[in-house]
Amino acid sequence: MRIELLHRLIAGSTTEEENRQLMEWFRQCASREEFFKLFERAWKDSSDEMPRDVQERMYRRLNRGLDEEKKQAKVIPLRSRFSWKIWQRVAVACIIIVLSLVNYNMYQKQKQLSTQNFMVSAEKGQRAFVTLPDSTKVWLNSDTKISYPADYGMKERNVALVGEAYFEVAKNPAKRFVVEIKGMQVEALGTAFNINSYKNDNKIIASLFDGSVRVSYEDHVAILKPHESVKVDLLTHDFLQYEDNNMKNIALWRENEITFDGESLEEIAGIINRLYNTTIYIEDESLKKECYIGTVRNNSLENFIDIINLTTPVVYENKGDTVFLKRRDP
């Protein structure tokens, strides 16, 4: 039982009550040989758990104490008060070193966790779904990445986002859930929301479907209610909170559909690049400003362009990995 407690002490997993029991045993230990053997065994067994210099320091401290006690034993009886004081000092010194080691191990583990990140990504032409350690669900649109620290959920729940993602946040009022993207923070509790801002976008849009979120950017702060959005212009730093009448279409990408509400063909070309991992080249500059309104079922590139072609004067031609768009002849 004692060796098990020593192992757990060195590993930093003992309870306060177990630490108290060990301290009491150290004070009352009648046999220094018993203590030394147990401690040496625990030290050897835990060689992978502690730094080598700490091991050697502990070992030297024990040996010095025992050597000193042996010298005193030549003159003073083994069970003398003086000998016991020396033994107490050795035990106390070892306790201090072990407790320091526990703190060291805990610090190193926390440091390692705080610097390690996990990443989930959806490449171009793909989408992804992930459940985070706290049961929060995240849908990732094409060309999107999220990352979170290894200590996610221990104190807070922090997620970094690049691209577009839909979050259904597990309720836990004791631990904040925060998504950070390009300097904007969205803090939520038991909430469903969508955030959209790709790497080269000059805007961020956060839209709330359910619950409540606190959106902050620079000096701006907004508390969103369901069916509200915030739009941040990264060029002008404008911050706009508004009731969003397009909520039902914002997250349709999860159902393999996409809705356009007056986006230019140039903007649509960028979306096609992400969805199908291809390159769109618009030959006619004036064609870039043509706008499209409608919903497209995202099942194939050809179908996508054919549907747009019904209302927008474009034709396309495939050349290798590039799709060329040009104005359709009247």
Tens digit of each residue's pLDDT, the chain (330 residues): 555 666 666 566 677 777 777 666 666 654 555 555 655 565 555 544 455 555 555 555 555 544 554 455 444 444 444 344 444 455 555 555 555 555 555 555 555 555 678 999 999 888 999 999 999 999 999 999 999 998 898 889 999 999 999 999 999 989 999 999 999 999 997 799 999 999 889 999 999 999 999 999 999 999 999 999 999 999 999 999 999 988 888 988 988 888 888 888 888 888 888 888 888 888 888 888 888 888 887 678 888 878 877 777 788 888 878 888 888 776
Residue 26 falls in which region: left (phi positive, over 0), alpha (psi -120 to 50) or beta:
alpha
- Give the model's pLDDT for residue 265: 87
- Give the model's pLDDT for residue 79: 42
Rounded to 10°, the helix 32-45/81-115 angle is 20
Strand duo 157-168 + 177-181: pairing: parallel
- Look up the pTM and report it: 0.63
DSSP assigned state of 169: P
- Give the model's pLDDT for residue 30: 46
- Give the model's pLDDT for residue 32: 52
- Give the model's pLDDT for residue 104: 54
- Give the model's pLDDT for residue 273: 86
Rounded CA-CA distance 21/27 in Å is 10
Nearest alpha carbon to residue 163 among 186, 138, 197: 197
Contact between residue 222 and residue 241 where contact means Cβ atoms under 8 Å apart? yes
Strand duo 220-224 + 228-233: pairing: unpaired
H helix or E strand, kind and range, residue 162: strand 157-168
Rounded CA-CA distance 263/89 in Å is 78
CA 264 to centroid of chain Cα atoms: 35
- Give the model's pLDDT for residue 81: 40
Q: Which structure tokens are listed for 79?
A: 């069970």
DSSP assigned state of 115: H
- Give the model's pLDDT for residue 133: 92
- Give the model's pLDDT for residue 76: 43
Rounded CA-CA distance 121/143 in Å is 7
- Give the model's pLDDT for residue 77: 47
- Give the model's pLDDT for residue 243: 95
- Give the model's pLDDT for residue 308: 78
- Give the model's pLDDT for residue 75: 47
Q: Please give the backbone phi and psi of residue 214, each rounded to the nearest 5 degrees, phi first.
A: -110, 115
Q: Please give the backbone phi and psi of residue 92, each rounded to the nearest 5 degrees, phi first.
A: -65, -40
- Give the model's pLDDT for residue 7: 61
CATH of 256-327, one of 3.55.50.30, 3.90.1150.10, 1.10.10.10, 3.40.50.300: 3.55.50.30
Rounded CA-CA distance 179/226 in Å is 18
Fold annotation for 117-250: Jelly Rolls (2.60.120)
